[in-house]
Structure 1
Amino acid sequence: MKKTQQKEIENVTDITGVRQIELWRRDDLQHPRLDEVAEEVPVALVYNGISHVVMMASPKDLEYFALGFSLSEGIIESPRDIFGMDVVPSCNGLEVQIELSSRRFMGLKERRRALAGRTGCGVCGVEQLNDIGKPVQPLPFTQTFDLNKLDDALRHLNDFQPVG
């Protein structure tokens, strides 16, 4: 990726892969503290000018993400099949513009993928960034929770689901 484009991306969108949030604890509402959460953005993989897929991804090291996706999906056999790659800001996210060898691009066009996001937010599997961001009507508010029971459940989560 060109250094000028990387600098432009960071300056224009301030993409870091991590976002700071203010964390409020129920037992200490007077003193919020800062915490960090992982941040994902829609990323379109565009091969020789044709958008192939949009996936949610951390906006760091997108060249490696695109390379890994291209290898695992059989779009390329080797990193040498990619002649160039640029990460550029786009309307609703980022595009990784990938220049493939003619042979690999013809193979990609012949087999156009059937990749669908199987679960999650509905972004993964969309072909173009323009296809996301369509308004969705909110569901009616029908459920309430006792926060004390939720706190109790979270306290005991590690007893039933060890992490690490």
Structure 2
Amino acid sequence: MMKSPLLARRRLLLSVLAAATLPVWAAPAKPRVEVWKSPYCGCCKDWIAHLEREGFAVQANEVGDLDGARRKLGMPDRYASCHTARVGDYLLEGHVPAADIRRLLAEKPQAIGLAVPGMPVGSPGMDGPAYGGRRDPYDVLLVRRDGKAAVFGSYR
């Protein structure tokens, strides 16, 4: 029995249409981090590079009044560092490691976000050759909505 060319084309067209309607499995989108920083801060650029290497999509906003930006975003001043960022519904203050950001996004605690107050040497962005391999101990703080904090991660 010989198949008609029209029937063969119809089956091919239906196969193509059926395949086109199957769900497309794409790689998950990179978490987006928006950063507010001084235009003159080199360690902020290094922290951004750390996040990008770790799979985050980063947008930097250079501001002249970082303290004002931090207050407007809602991070308490006592946790201040050299940059403030937002990822999802959370704020990040300072040199927070990418692993802690991923953990924050996975666990979804009731919090303002994470902070690494000051600029500890050895934290991401403060760990280049200019620091001679020095590493200061520091904590990543979970800043709760009442403004109080608890240790989220420790680096010794």
Q: What TM-score do the two structures reach when normalised by structure 1? A: 0.23
| Greater Rg by CA | 2
Q: Which has the higher contact order (CA 8 A, sep 6+)?
A: 1
Q: Which has the larger strand fraction?
A: 1
